[in-house]
Amino acid sequence: MSAPLFNALLELADDHLILGHRVSEWCGHAPLLEEDLAMPNMALDMIGAARSLYTYAGEIEGEGRDEDQLAYLRYDRDYKNCLLVERPNEDFAHTMLKQLYFAAFMHPYWEAALQSSDETVRGIAGKSVKEVAYHIRHAGEWVVRLGDGTEESAQRMQDAVTELHPYVEELFHMSADAQAAADKGALPDREAMRAQWTNTISNVFDQAKLTMPEVEYPQLGGRTGHHGEEMGHLLSDLQYMQRAYPNMSW
Amino acid sequence: MSAPLFNALLELADDHLILGHRVSEWCGHAPLLEEDLAMPNMALDMIGAARSLYTYAGEIEGEGRDEDQLAYLRYDRDYKNCLLVERPNEDFAHTMLKQLYFAAFMHPYWEAALQSSDETVRGIAGKSVKEVAYHIRHAGEWVVRLGDGTEESAQRMQDAVTELHPYVEELFHMSADAQAAADKGALPDREAMRAQWTNTISNVFDQAKLTMPEVEYPQLGGRTGHHGEEMGHLLSDLQYMQRAYPNMSW
Amino acid sequence: EEFLAKFQARIDREEKIEPNDAMPNGYRKTLVRQIGQHAHSEIVGMLPEGNWITRAPSLRRKAALLAKVQDEGGHGLYLYSAAETLGVTREQMTEELLSGKAKYSSIFNYPTPTWADIGTIGWLVDGAAIMNQIPLCRCSYGPYARAMIRVCKEESFHQRQGYEILISLCNGTEEQKQMAQDSINRWWWPSLMMFGPHDAESSHSEQSMKWKIKRFSNDELRQKFIDATVPQAEYLGLTVPDPELKWNPEKNGGKGGYDHGEIDWDEFWRVVKGHGKMNRDRIKDRKKAWDDGAWVREAALAHAEKRAARQTQHAAE
Amino acid sequence: EEFLAKFQARIDREEKIEPNDAMPNGYRKTLVRQIGQHAHSEIVGMLPEGNWITRAPSLRRKAALLAKVQDEGGHGLYLYSAAETLGVTREQMTEELLSGKAKYSSIFNYPTPTWADIGTIGWLVDGAAIMNQIPLCRCSYGPYARAMIRVCKEESFHQRQGYEILISLCNGTEEQKQMAQDSINRWWWPSLMMFGPHDAESSHSEQSMKWKIKRFSNDELRQKFIDATVPQAEYLGLTVPDPELKWNPEKNGGKGGYDHGEIDWDEFWRVVKGHGKMNRDRIKDRKKAWDDGAWVREAALAHAEKRAARQTQHAAE
pLDDT, tens digit, for every residue of A106-138? 999 999 999 999 999 999 999 999 999 999 999
Tell me the pLDDT band of B57, cut-offs 50, 70 and 90: very high
Q: How many CB pairs under 8 A join A and B?
A: 25
Q: Report the residue of chain B nearest A230, measured CA to CA.
A: B237
Q: Is residue A249 part of a domain?
A: no
Q: Give the one of A237, A239, A243 whose C-beta lies nearest to B233's C-beta.
A: A237
More confident residue, A83 or D204: A83
pLDDT, tens digit, for every residue of D247-300? 999 998 899 999 999 999 999 999 999 999 999 999 999 999 999 999 999 999
> What is the mean predicted confidence (pLDDT) over B153-174?
98
Using a CB-CB cut-off of 8 Å, the residues of chain B touching C113 are: 76-77, 226-227, 229, 231-232
Cα atoms in the 13 Å half-sphere on the side-chain side of A112: 17
Q: The dihedral of CA D36, D40, D43, D48: what is its sign?
A: negative
> What is the mean predicted confidence (pLDDT) over D108-129?
98
> What is the mean predicted confidence (pLDDT) over A77-84?
98
Contact D111 A229 (CB under 8 A): yes
pLDDT, tens digit, for every residue of C242-272? 999 999 999 988 999 999 999 999 999 999 9
In this structure, of C59-63, C203-207, D226-230, the range with the lowest mean pLDDT score is C203-207
Chains that touch C (3 or more CB pairs under 8 A): A, B
Position C314 scores a pLDDT of 81
Whether D45 has a pLDDT exceeding 60, the answer reads: yes
> What is the mean predicted confidence (pLDDT) over A91-110?
98
Contact B228 C186 (CB under 8 A): no
Distance CA B72, CA B60 (A): 18
Whether A100 has a pLDDT exceeding 70, the answer reads: yes
Distance CA A214, CA A202 (A): 13
Contact C114 B236 (CB under 8 A): no
> What is the mean predicted confidence (pLDDT) over A87-104?
98
Tell me the pLDDT band of C216, cut-offs 50, 70 and 90: confident
Position D245 scores a pLDDT of 97
Position D205 scores a pLDDT of 73
* Average pLDDT value over all residues in chain C: 94
Position C205 scores a pLDDT of 73
H helix or E strand, kind and range, residue C246? strand C246-248
The reply to whether A78 touches chain B by the CB within 8 Å rule is no
Position C212 scores a pLDDT of 85
pLDDT above 90 covers a percentage of chain D that reads 90
Q: Report the residue of chain D nearest B31, measured CA to CA.
A: D293
Residue C275 near residue C110 (C-beta atoms within 8 A): no
Whether B1 has a pLDDT exceeding 70, the answer reads: no
Quote the number of domains for chain B: 1
Q: Give the one of B51, B153, B237 whose C-beta lies nearest to D59's C-beta.
A: B51
Using a CB-CB cut-off of 8 Å, the residues of chain A touching C170 are: none
pLDDT above 70 covers a percentage of chain C that reads 99
Position B109 scores a pLDDT of 98
Distance CA D28, CA D35 (A): 10
pLDDT above 70 covers a percentage of chain A that reads 100
Tell me the pLDDT band of C209, cut-offs 50, 70 and 90: confident
Tell me the pLDDT band of B189, cut-offs 50, 70 and 90: very high
Tell me the pLDDT band of B28, cut-offs 50, 70 and 90: very high
Q: Is residue B249 part of a domain?
A: no
Position D104 scores a pLDDT of 96
> What is the mean predicted confidence (pLDDT) over B33-54?
97
Position C207 scores a pLDDT of 85
Q: Give the one of B233, B237, B244 whose C-beta lies nearest to A243's C-beta.
A: B244
Among A125, A132, A224, CA closest to A178: A224
The reply to whether C70 touches chain A by the CB within 8 Å rule is yes
Chains C and D touch (3+ CB pairs under 8 A): no
pLDDT, tens digit, for every residue of C121-148? 999 999 999 999 999 999 999 999 999 9
Distance CA A180, CA D286 (A): 43
Distance CA C210, CA B68 (A): 63
B-interface mutation test, from A243, A245, A247, A248, most B Cβ less than 10 A away: A243
Cα radius of gyration rounded to whole Å, chain A? 18
Residue B149 DSSP class: S
Position D207 scores a pLDDT of 85
Cα atoms in the 13 Å half-sphere on the side-chain side of C151: 33
Residues in D 107-126 with any Cβ partner in B closer than 8 A? 115
* Average pLDDT value over all residues in chain B: 97
Whether D211 has a pLDDT exceeding 60, the answer reads: yes
D-interface mutation test, from A229, A233, A234, A237, most D Cβ less than 10 A away: A229
Position A229 scores a pLDDT of 98
Position C206 scores a pLDDT of 81
Q: Is residue B250 part of a domain?
A: no
Position D316 scores a pLDDT of 79
Distance from CA of C86 to the nearest CA of B (A): 36
Residues of A with CB under 8 A from a CB of D: 75-77, 83, 163, 166, 216-217, 219, 221, 226-232, 236
Distance CA A60, CA A70 (A): 12
Distance from CA of B161 to the nearest CA of C (A): 14
Distance CA B111, CA B90 (A): 31
Whether C84 has a pLDDT exceeding 60, the answer reads: yes
Q: What's this model's pTM, rounded to 2 decimal places? A: 0.96
Q: Is residue A99 part of a domain?
A: yes
Contact D114 A76 (CB under 8 A): yes
Q: Is residue B58 part of a domain?
A: yes
The reply to whether B162 touches chain A by the CB within 8 Å rule is no
> What is the mean predicted confidence (pLDDT) over D91-110?
95
Residue A94 near residue A167 (C-beta atoms within 8 A): no
Distance CA C220, CA C243 (A): 21
- CB B163: neighbour CB atoms within 10 A? 19
Q: Give the one of C54, C80, C296 whose C-beta lies nearest to A24's C-beta.
A: C54
Q: Is residue B56 part of a domain?
A: yes
Q: Looking at this protein, which amino acid is placed at residue C100?
A: G
C-alpha pair distances (Å), D302 with each of B38, B93, B115, D214:
21, 16, 43, 42
Position C317 scores a pLDDT of 74
Tell me the pLDDT band of C169, cut-offs 50, 70 and 90: very high
Using a CB-CB cut-off of 8 Å, the residues of chain B touching C277 are: 83, 219, 221, 226, 228
Distance CA B76, CA D241 (A): 42
The reply to whether D175 touches chain B by the CB within 8 Å rule is yes
Torsion region of B20: left, alpha or beta (phi above 0 gives left; psi -120 to 50 gives alpha): alpha
- DSSP codes of every residue in A5-40: HHHHHHHHHHHHHHHHHHHHTTTT--SSHHHHHHHH
> What is the mean predicted confidence (pLDDT) over D130-146?
93
Distance CA D146, CA C141 (A): 82
Q: Report the residue of chain D nearest A166, measured CA to CA.
A: D275
Chains A and C touch (3+ CB pairs under 8 A): yes
pLDDT, tens digit, for every residue of B108-124? 999 999 999 999 999 99
pLDDT, tens digit, for every residue of B202-249? 999 999 999 999 998 999 999 999 999 999 999 999 999 999 999 999
Contact A244 B239 (CB under 8 A): yes
Using a CB-CB cut-off of 8 Å, the residues of chain B touching D80 are: 33
SS (H, E, C) C27-39: HHHHHHHHHHHHH
Give the residue numbers spanning the domain of A158: 3-244
> What is the mean predicted confidence (pLDDT) over D31-41?
95
C-alpha pair distances (Å), B72 with each of C177, C225, D59:
22, 40, 9
Distance CA D11, CA D139 (A): 10
The reply to whether A230 touches chain B by the CB within 8 Å rule is no
More confident residue, B1 or C64: C64
Position C201 scores a pLDDT of 80
Tell me the pLDDT band of D210, cut-offs 50, 70 and 90: confident
Q: Looking at this protein, which amino acid is placed at residue B78?
A: D
Burial A221-242 (b: 16+ CB within 10 A, else e): ebbebbbbbebbbbbbbbbbbb
Q: Is residue A108 part of a domain?
A: yes
Chains that touch A (3 or more CB pairs under 8 A): B, C, D
Position D213 scores a pLDDT of 83
Q: Is residue A250 part of a domain?
A: no
User: What CATH number does residue A125 fall under?
Assistant: 1.20.1260.10
Whether A1 has a pLDDT exceeding 60, the answer reads: no
Strand partners, D247: D258
